[in-house]
Amino acid sequence: MISKDLVAASSEPMILAILARGESYGYAIIKRVRELSRGEMEWTDGMLYPVLHRLEQQGLIASRWAASETGRKRRYYRIKDKGGKTLQNMINQWNIVFSALCKAREAKPCLT
């Protein structure tokens, strides 16, 4: 499992990246993170929703209520232009950190 600190640090860019591929809702985001990490990252509602609310307050995402296929009301989230720009900036920062980590390990390949 991934450490809680690393999960927390990656939560905003991960959510923005998922929403950059299309509108989604809470449970689907949690499920997608699990799929993308091959089960290594287990998010909970209690972790996800505060981050979604923070991203919305920052103007990076927007939400709307709509009925799901079952008729149940569900809150859907989408990325805004500002969120897309922020995501690209976050990716650039993560690439710098990852590159420095790889260089620090110099003797071994970074990706296995």
Whole-model pTM: value is: 0.91
**What per-residue confidence (pLDDT) applies to 91?**
97
Cα–Cα distance for residue pair 27/44, rounded to 1 Å: 9
- Give the ranges where the chain is alpha helix by DSSP (H): 4-20, 26-36, 45-57, 81-104
The distance of Cα 111 from the centroid of its chain, to the nearest Å, equals 21
Note the pLDDT tens digit of each residue in 78-103: 999 999 999 999 999 999 999 999 88
| pLDDT level of residue 14 (50, 70, 90 thresholds) | very high
Residue 107 has pLDDT above 70, yes or no: no
Question: Which residue ranges form the domains of the chain, and what is each CATH number?
Answer: 4-104 (1.10.10.10)
Mean local confidence (pLDDT), 1-6: 88
